[in-house]
Amino acid sequence: MRIIPAIDIIEGKCVRLTKGDYNTKKIYNENPLEVAKEFEAAGIEYLHVVDLDGAKASKIINYKVLEQIASNTNLKIDFGGGLKSDKDLEIAFNSGANQITGGSIAVKNSSVFNSWITKFGAEKIILGADFYPDKTGGKIATNGWQEESSLELLPFIDGYHKKGISYVICTDISKDGMLQGPSFNVYKDILTEVKNVKLIASGGISTFDELPKLKEIGCEGVIIGKAIYENKISLKQLENFIINK
């Protein structure tokens, strides 16, 4: 299972939100490159970068931060947040992204998202399945989590998997930034229903002990944000996990 720390960007700074609420913004570092280098020094190979300004603006904004991290580290970066056009994707890839994540666009303009799969290749495109939980599993959220769609989580993932998508980042918004543990049961349901999907767990990671459990149920990767920044999980623990996996 891949360990993928998160760097969320507002105005070029490394921040974290709680449940996607911009009013809860907490700045952890003015220099995202410094944070990325710390991750790389701990043996981490992957990085999840979210352009929160871009998510609000519906176009790529913080590509210079992406470029800076990609130019000065060997981290394999997936980049998301407000990507809506072929031009946005070209900027992201030219700035050093290995993969991009599309969430809102996959809900609101499936023809464009499907064209990306064809044009750039399924391995380059990650489906962002961010959801608000309900009794039937969850409803997909869009626009920086500011809006809730009518689409159900499982059919949404399954539909795009059938169209060639391999990688899916699935975030339980109710748990994001809460440090109360991830949605194990939801991830089990997805991995049972959608065979061979490369599921990346996101939201709620709070202790190191949760990582082996996510690996055991079959998650391909896990995104860790606030737990690192709040010292709930140390980089040393992650380094040992990577070495011993």
Whose tokens are 């990688």? That residue is: 167
What pTM does this model have?
Answer: 0.95
Residues 6 or more apart in contact with residue 23 via CB below 8 angstroms = none
Domains in the chain, number: 1
In this predicted model, what pLDDT tens digit does every residue of 141-158 receive, in sequence order?
A: 886 666 778 899 999 999
Q: Which band of pLDDT confidence, cut at 50, 70 and 90, is reported for residue 177? A: confident
Contact assessment for residue 42 and residue 238, using Cβ atoms and an 8 Å cutoff = yes
In this predicted model, what pLDDT tens digit does every residue of 180-219 receive, in sequence order?
A: 999 999 999 999 999 999 999 999 999 999 999 999 999 9
Give the residue numbers spanning the domain of 132: 2-244
Tokens of 9: 């960007």
CATH of the domain at 186: 3.20.20.70
Enzyme catalytic residues: 8, 130
- Strands 76-80 and 99-102, by their bridges, are parallel
Rg (CA), the chain: 16
Q: Which DSSP letter does residue 174 get?
A: T
Residues 6 or more apart in contact with residue 90 via CB below 8 angstroms = none
